[in-house]
Each structure stands twice: as C-alpha cells, then as structure tokens.
Structure 1
Amino acid sequence: MKHLPKHLQPRWRYLAVAVESWPDASVDRRAFQREVWYAAQNLLGDTGSAEVDLTVIAFDRTDGGAQAIVRTRRGSAGEARAALACLDSVDDDPVGLRVLGISGTVRACEEKYIRRPPEAPAKRQVVFENQDRRAVERGVRIDVHTDDAFAGATALDFR
C-alpha cells in the first residue's frame, strides 16, 4: 500500500496535560484513555469525537497524578480542550486536568511543557482538626488523610 502524499496526510497537534488526584488514586493510561473518549463523545457526539480523534500518546504516572500527551487533529484543539475540561473522574477517582500547552510535534511538546519530572511527594505528620494525622506534601499542596478520605490544604492552614 502506498503512502499518501504529504499534502494529504493528516496533521496533528499535541496537548500536554497535567493530571492531579488524591495520593491514593490509581490512574492508569488505559482508564484515562477510556474516560477521554467518553468525555469527547458525550460533549461532541459520535461524529464530533471522531473528527477530533483524541488519543493518549504518552502517559507518565506518579503518586497522586500524571502527565500525558494527547493527540488531536489540527484545527480542533479548542474542541479537544473542551472535552478534556469535561473529564472529572477516572475509575471513580476524582481528577483535575490542566492543559499545559499545545505543540505541533511530540518532541516539542515534551521539551516545552514536560521538561522535568513532577515533584516527589513527601510524607509527614500534621495536626489537623486537633488530631495528629498523616499527610502527603506536594509543593505547596498538602493532602491530609482524614478518617475515610483526604482533605486538601496548604502550608498556610498549618501556621
């Protein structure tokens, strides 16, 4: 089978996406891809999601989050961002997504927006609601383990 001429080949854009969740969440690539497809289909319909053609190219999971590169067709980056904004959970774990940037190649996307590995979480003990509790610290964010879930806080909440 012959290749298409260059002017007929599809053009792509690559979105760098930061995924944040609670420290005990287990977000993997397959579940994230499935939820991206469902979000696009629910927002844009069958034909719209097929035109946008969202595909997870790279996925790097860490404790409480991940970094991903999502491929979309050129000219549909706005629809892709809107579909990603509709995603609020992966496998019943709540997630927050942030599009770090858009690029024309995978390499440029990695170099510009996913340069360094995310900060490693530190575990420590804090006093929260007058009790000594376990916490996971990621930069300025602190996730305090309560009785059955996590509560989000910042360093200012403990001073």
Structure 2
Amino acid sequence: MKVLPPTLRDPKRYLALELICEVRVSRDDFLNEIFSNSAALIGDFGSSQAGIRLLDFDDNMGILRCKRGSEDLTRAVLATITIVGGYPAIVNVLGIAGTVRSATEKYIEKRDPYSVPNDKHI
C-alpha cells in the first residue's frame, strides 16, 4: 500500500501534560487509565474518532497526540482521571501545540516546577 501524502492525512494536535501524583507512575498504568476513562466517557467510537495516543511519558510529564478538533474531548478525558496505579492523581494540561517539537520546547523543557503556568494559550 502507498503511504498517504501529508495533504490527505488527518491533522493532529499535541498536548503537553503533567501528572500530579504522590509517586512516579509507570507509562502502562497511565495509559490504561487514559483508555479506560476514554471508553467510559466517549465510548469506543468516540475514542477512535479522537485518535488519542500517548507518545512520550517520563517523570510524570508527557506528550499526548489527538486529532485536530477533538482537543476538548481529550482534555475532558484527562480531567476524569482521578486514580492512577492506586494513588490519587490529577492531570494538568500544560498546553496544546501543532508539533511535538513546539509542545516540548514551549511547555516541557522550560518547565520550572515552582512557577505558575502561563494560561494565555489555553
């Protein structure tokens, strides 16, 4: 099969996120919570339409990919996550970007754990 040219692919958005939890959480535990809450909130069809994928997750920070137009659904799914790996947790979306590189540079690399996030992009 031929690969689709970029003009025919679905546009994507990348959410930089922070998981606030008492302990470090494994990628698998976080991924299970994302997919179980996604299925509970928007169903299987909505989950496939949103195209949610966890690209990177390390040290309770990560990059999540979704299709353009489903950013609000994805944020709603993340807001429903309250327990990860048996510990209480909160998911904080740091920002949304059009590329992985810009999401990483804007929201993850320059993140100071003691600073208040700038909410002008949200």
Q: Fold-level match, TM-score > 0.5?
A: yes
Partner of 2:44: 46
Confirm or deny that 1:88 pairs with 2:82.
yes
Distance in 1, matches of 2:45 and 2:17, equals 24
How far does residue 104 in structure 1 lie from its aligned partner after superposition? 0.5
Cα deviation per residue 1:90-133 (whole Å; 9 max; x = unaligned)?
111111111010000000000000024665xxxxxxxxxxxxxx
Distance in 2, matches of 1:118 and 1:20, equals 14
Cα deviation per residue 1:11-33 (whole Å; 9 max; x = unaligned)?
110000111111xx241111111
Confirm or deny that 1:8 pairs with 2:2.
no
4+ runs deviating over 6 angstroms = none
Alignment-mate amino acid for residue 32 of structure 1: F
User: Structure 2 residue aligned with 1:107, among 101, 104, 111?
Assistant: 101
Partner of 1:27: 25
Higher helix proportion: 2
Partner of 1:135: none
Alignment-mate amino acid for residue 27 of structure 2: R
Q: How many correspondences in the alignment? A: 115
Distance in 1, matches of 2:5 and 2:57, equals 31
- Which of 1 and 2 has greater Rg? 1
User: Structure 2 residue aligned with 1:67, among 44, 58, 61?
Assistant: 61
Q: Which runs of 5 or more structure 1 residues have no equivalent in the other structure? A: 120-138, 141-159
Cα deviation per residue 1:48-79 (whole Å; 9 max; x = unaligned)?
01111211111111xxxx11111101110000
Q: Which has the higher contact order (CA 8 A, sep 6+)?
A: 2
Identity value in percent: 37
Distance in 1, matches of 2:81 and 2:56, equals 18
How far does residue 5 in structure 1 lie from its aligned partner after superposition? 2.5
Partner of 1:98: 92
Partner of 2:118: none
State the Cα RMSD in Å.
Answer: 1.6
Distance in 2, matches of 1:118 and 1:29, equals 22
